Amino acid sequence: MSHYPHPIIAREGWPFVVISLAAAVAVTGFAGWAWALPFWLIAAFMLQFFRDPPRTIPAGPKAVLSPADGRVLLVERGRDPYLKRDALKFSVFMNVFNVHSNRSPVDGEVRQKWYHAGTFVNAALSKASLENERSALWIRTADGTDVTCVQIAGLIARRILCYVQAGDRLARGERYGFIRFGSRVDLYLPLSAVPKAAVGDRVFATSSVLAELA
């Protein structure tokens, strides 16, 4: 996977930003500001939605970083449907005002990648983990710890982008994907992991710590 140096506006959004700005300028020129205002509001929304700021990586090799911006929906013992194990599950919900760039929670090798087509129910619902369109990564750290990170489409989201494949290596905080227009990320950790975030917490990809590995 090629290096992505955080150009502030995510590359996935460049067509949306350019088209919306061009439309706003064109309507302003032909019809004036009053008619163009809705187009400028759309352009402003596109700019804020596709922002992709750089983040500072916290110290601590055992820290599991949040893979997404948003609110923690749940922290509970659950079943990892990909590695068929009991696990500590975190879910982070992203609304349309959050940054939607997804980052690796740990250093490790991608052992396997799964993609499942599915529905587009509200990503805040528990059933979204198993029913919605999703893309999952199995990441194994250098000490053999298995982490499963799942991008899940939402009610509005219609495009999950994941740029890594089995055999790729990821560094903590490294950008590996993007979900357009509202979504959710689930994270499955060993039961021995110690939670550092709670339900309702606002978290930020890379800079927030969700848990510590044992």
Strand ranges inside 45-107, DSSP E = 51-52, 63-65, 70-80, 85-94, 101-103
R_g of the chain computed on alpha carbons:
18
166, burial (CB in 10 Å: exposed 0-12, middle 13-18, buried 19+): exposed
DSSP 104-121: -SSSEEEEEEEEE--B--
Amino acid (one-letter) located at 34: A
Pick the catalytic residue: 101, 183, 192, 208?
A: 183
What tokens appear for 108 in the block? Answer: 């490790």
Q: Classify 69 in phi/psi space as left (phi over 0), alpha (psi -120 to 50) or beta.
A: beta
Respond yes or no: is residue 135 known to be catalytic.
Answer: no
In the chain, alpha helices (H): 14-31, 33-49, 128-131
Give the CA dihedral 75, 107, 100, 160, nearest 10 degrees. -90
- The answer to whether the CB of 113 falls within 8 A of the CB of 102 is no
Active site residue ranges: 183
